[in-house]
């Protein structure tokens, strides 16, 4: 069988041109939408901060790395917002925690979660997250698997102890960082 160069070059050149055109169109689309995507991400982050610290009317970066935010109302500091991570059953969980200046948890929001539907995903429900709305214990929250939780205790979700522990670990990291910030 004899190979004809035209039968090889013509389709290869066509594919090459299609790839160049598609790549150029994707680059143009990315440059046009990059600013809009960044703006939307900033709005989403602001809304998440407002959800965990609802009394705040503004937020300032707490340090140059943006590792936490200072919640303000009327120019006065009313709390702090921390974003922390912990390893869950389905991967890393990212949790945003609001803590008032007196050390009370004002809210938690799960930003990133990839847990088992119907089990670990229940960590997003208010019935689980509202357990943290109490004064933060000095040594962090304790996870219990049975019985009624007392002060400083969190009741684990049935069938999702690893996820419950991950969320509690992330909130405890925020509590630890809160104490570091308060001490200077």
pLDDT higher than 80, residue 32: yes
Which carries the bigger pLDDT value, residue 97 or residue 41?
A: 97
pLDDT tens digits along 151-172: 999 999 999 999 999 999 999 9
DSSP letters for the chain: -PPPHHHHHHHHHHHHHHHHHHHHHHHHHHHHHHHHHHHHHHHHHHHHHHHHSTT-SEEEESSTT-SEEEEEETTEEEEEEEEEEEEETTEEEEEEEEEETTSBEEEEEEEE----TTTGGGGGSHHHHGGG-SBPPTT--EEESSS---TTEEEPPTT-HHHHHHHHHHHHHHHHHHHHHHH-
Which pLDDT score, from 0 to 100, does residue 154 have? Answer: 93
Average pLDDT for the chain? 91
Considering only CA atoms, which of 181, 176, 179 is closest in space to residue 63?
Answer: 181
Please tell me which residue, 19 or 1, carries the higher pLDDT value: 19
Predicted pLDDT of residue 138: 86
pLDDT category at 9 given cuts 50, 70, 90 is confident
Contact 99, 106 (CB under 8 A): yes
Confidence bin at 5 (pLDDT 50/70/90): confident
| Position with higher pLDDT, 64 vs 126 | 126
Q: Is the pLDDT of residue 95 over 90?
A: yes
Report whether pLDDT(6) > 90. Answer: no
50: pLDDT strictly greater than 70? yes
Predicted confidence at residue 1, as pLDDT, reads 62
- Those residues with Cβ within 8 angstroms of residue 156's Cβ, 6 or more apart along the chain or in another chain: 143, 144, 145, 164, 165
Give the per-residue pLDDT at 44.
87
In whole angstroms, what is the distance from residue 44 CA to residue 178 CA?
A: 23
Q: What is the mean pLDDT of residues 61-76?
A: 86
**Average pLDDT, integer, range 108-134:** 91
């Amino acid at each position: 069988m004899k190979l004809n160069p035209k039968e090889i070059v013509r389709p290869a050149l066509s594919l090459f041109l299609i790839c160049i055109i598609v790549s150029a169109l994707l680059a143009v689309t990315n440059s046009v939408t990059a600013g809009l995507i960044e703006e939307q991400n900033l709005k989403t982050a602001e809304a998440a901060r407002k959800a965990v610290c609802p009394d705040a009317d503004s937020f300032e970066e707490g340090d140059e790395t943006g590792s936490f935010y200072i919640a303000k109302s009327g120019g006065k500091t009313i709390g702090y917002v921390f974003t922390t991570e912990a390893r869950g059953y389905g991967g890393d969980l990212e949790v945003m925690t609001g803590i008032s200046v007196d050390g009370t948890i004002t809210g938690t929001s799960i930003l990133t979660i990839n847990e088992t539907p119907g089990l670990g995903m229940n960590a997003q429900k208010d019935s689980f997250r509202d357990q943290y709305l109490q004064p933060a214990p000095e040594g962090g929250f304790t996870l219990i698997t049975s019985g009624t939780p007392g002060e400083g205790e969190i009741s684990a979700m049935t069938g999702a102890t690893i996820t419950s522990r991950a969320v509690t670990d992330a909130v405890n990291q925020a509590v630890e960082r809160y104490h570091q910030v308060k001490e200077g």
